[in-house]
Amino acid sequence: MSTSDPYFQRHIFFCCNRREDGRECCADKGANELRDYCKQQVKKRGLAGTGRVRVNMAGCLDRCELGPVAVVYPEGVWYRYQNREDIDEIVEQHLANGEPVQRLKI
């Protein structure tokens, strides 16, 4: 990998923000558990690592009212997901094959 190549092909950030003021937040909607599940699935499929895919937790991405939310870069595709099936679809279709999941986009 040369220095001009991206360090990761794709990077998915999960908003795992917890708001203490009573407003909606992704953490209250299962974001941490589903991020962990995504990380497991990416590793299981052999997609993790340098030059491949990175799964990360983010602080507030400022879209909690739509959440839980995640965003995939470099494409900048935002998702609202609800369960493991949604995560499986994002991993298979977008992270592995580069095709955004239209039904989950926000």
Residue 94 lies in a domain: yes
Domain count, the chain: 1
37-79 confidence digits (pLDDT tens): 999 999 999 999 999 999 999 988 989 889 899 999 999 999 9
Residue 49's domain comprises 10-104
- DSSP symbols for 52-97: SEEEEEES--S-GGG-SEEEEETTTEEEE--SHHHHHHIIIIIIIT
5-45 confidence digits (pLDDT tens): 678 999 999 999 988 888 889 999 999 999 999 999 999 99
Whether 58 and 8 have beta carbons less than 8 Å apart is answered as no
79-97 confidence digits (pLDDT tens): 999 999 999 999 999 999 9
Collapsed DSSP state (helix, strand, coil) of residue 4? coil
Residue 93 lies in a domain: yes
Whether 79 and 72 have beta carbons less than 8 Å apart is answered as yes
